[in-house]
Structure 1
Amino acid sequence: MLRWTVIFLVVAIIAGILGFGGIAAGAAGIAKILFFVFLVLFVISLISGRIRS
């Protein structure tokens, strides 16, 4: 999931450089959402790993 976040971030940066503001904003929004979902899942996996040990 972090890989997809980086891909959308790179797309947003390239689109921003080339002047495609709408596409850049959309890709940045998707990257932000994916990053927060990744963080939540990562924290849940850390907590569940601590509970099992």
Structure 2
Amino acid sequence: MLGWALLFLIVAIVAGALGLSGIAGAATQIAWILFVVGLILAVVFFVTGRRPPV
């Protein structure tokens, strides 16, 4: 999940540098949502003691 957030963040940065404001704004919003969801899941797994499979 955090990997997808980083991917969309990179897309947003590149699109912003190229002046594509609509795409940059959408990618930034998606990156922020995925980052928050990833953090919430990480906290839940930490509290419940569950670990992802390796």
Same fold (TM over 0.5): yes
Mapping of 1:1-53 within 5 angstroms? 1-49=1-49
Poorly superposed stretches of 4+, deviation over 3 Å? none
Provide TM-score, normalisation by structure 2: 0.89
Provide TM-score, normalisation by structure 1: 0.91
Structure with the bigger percentage of helix:
1
Of the two, which has the highest radius of gyration?
1
Aligned Cα RMSD in Å?
Answer: 1.1
Where does the alignment leave 5 or more consecutive residues of structure 1 unmatched? none
Where does the alignment leave 5 or more consecutive residues of structure 2 unmatched? none
Identical aligned residues as a percent: 54
Deviations, residues 1-53 of structure 1 (Å, cap 9, x unaligned): 11100000000000000000000000000000000000100000000008xxx
Aligned length: 50
